[in-house]
Amino acid sequence: MAKINRRTNTLGWVKVIVIVFILALLPLAKLGYAALQDGLGANPIEKITRNTGYWTLTFLLVTLTATPLKRLFGWLWPIRLRRMLGLFAFFYGSLHFSTYLVLDQFFDWQGILKDIIKRPYITIGFPAYLLMLPLALTSTNAMIRRLGGKRWQALHRLVYVSAIGGVIHYWWLVKKDLSNPLTFAVLLSLLLAIRLFYWWAGFRRKTT
C-alpha cells in the first residue's frame, strides 16, 4: 500500500513538473508566435530584448520566493521546483544576452565594450548575467556533492547580487514610467527582507 501511495505521489509530482515546464516555455512560445505572425511591431529586436529581459527578472524573483514560502508557511513544494525555475531564469537571460550580442550588436565586440563602459544599464546588466553562469553550471546534484553543501550555498548566494543587478539594470534603462522596475524593486526588497529577518532570528537564537 505504501509503495502504491509513493508511486501515485511520484506520478503526481512528475505531472506538476511537466505543467510548470510547459508554463515556463509559454513566454517564448508567445514571442515565437508573434514573430511568425509579423506581430513584433516596428522594432522587433527591441521587443525581443525587452521581453526576454522581463522574463529573466521574473523567473529570478519567482525562484527567490521558494525559501520565504518555506519559512512562512512550511511549504516544501516550491523548493522542489526552485532548480528548474532558476534554470529558466538563466535560459531567458541567455536568450536576452544572445539577442543583444547577435541581433543588436552582430558580434561587434568593440561596440559591446563601448556599451559596457558608456551605458550604465549595460555596465550593471553584464555582470548580473555573468553571475548566473556559475549558478547554472553548479546546479546539478553531482556539483552540489563535489562542492559540499556549505560552499555550494555560499556560491548560490550570488543569485541575490544578480537579482539586485537585474533590478538596477531595469531601473536605469527605463526613461519615463518607473512603475514596472519599482514593482520588481519592492518585491525583491520584500523577499530579501524576509530572508534577512529569519537569518537574524536564527543568529539571535544562537547567541542568547
Residues interacting with ligand HEM, by CB under 6 A? 46, 49-50, 53-54, 56-57, 60, 93, 96-97, 100, 122, 125-126, 128-129, 166, 169-170, 173
Min dist CB 36 to ligand HEM, Å, is: 21
Distance (Å, rounded) from C-alpha 49 to C-alpha 104?
A: 9
Residue nearer to ligand HEM on the CB measure, 79 or 113 = 113
Residue nearer to ligand HEM on the CB measure, 19 or 137 = 137
For the beta carbon of residue 90, count every other beta carbon within 10 angstroms: 21
Residue nearer to ligand HEM on the CB measure, 134 or 202 = 134
Alpha helices by DSSP H, listed for 65-178, are 66-73, 77-98, 109-118, 120-130, 132-137, 141-147, 149-156, 158-173
Min dist CB 27 to ligand HEM, Å, is: 12
Min dist CB 157 to ligand HEM, Å, is: 16
Min dist CB 147 to ligand HEM, Å, is: 23
CA distances from 31 to 37, 97, 99 (A): 10, 16, 13
Residue nearer to ligand HEM on the CB measure, 58 or 66 = 58
Query: Are 85 and 93 within 8 A, CB to CB?
Result: no
Query: Are 188 and 167 within 8 A, CB to CB?
Result: yes
Min dist CB 158 to ligand HEM, Å, is: 12
Residue nearer to ligand HEM on the CB measure, 20 or 158 = 158
> CA 75: distance to chain centroid?
20
Q: What are the grid coordinates assigned to 171, written together?
A: 531601473
Tell me what percent of the chain is helix, strand and coil, each rounded to the nearest 5. Answer: 85, 0, 15
Owner of C-alpha cell 514571442: 31
